[in-house]
Amino acid sequence: MTKKRSEAEWQQELSPNAFYVCRQKGTEPAFTGEYWNSKAEGIYHCHCCGEPLFESSTKYDSGSGWPSFYQPIKPAQIAEHRDISHGMIRVEVTCSHCDAHLGHVFPDGPEPTGLRYCINSASLTLKHAQ
């Protein structure tokens, strides 16, 4: 079992940008993150705890400027929360293991799920396929 970290511990462990995005529910600017247009094959893991979240085979170009996936590896790895910030009603997604903010999920994605998991690059670490 992984030890639960305090926010001060997370702040020491993460870069300022990763802390802002993952722990303070920030958003990186569109078209700036490391993975928004990556075509590399592999598994995208939670940047904070290393849990596998998305396969590159489910990544697609949504035109949004953020990495977009149509499904997680296991639905239980992603927690959903109602987000009413910024005058909108959205569904925030977090890592169910460490509660890191990942991004949001929208019902405008491609088949087979019709979902768009719009994820901040700072919330992810890509482990390339062997």
Active site residues: 118
Nearest to 72 by CA among 18, 25, 119, 2: 119
Strand order in the sheet with 52-55: 52-55, 42-46, 124-128
Maximum alpha-carbon separation in the chain: 44
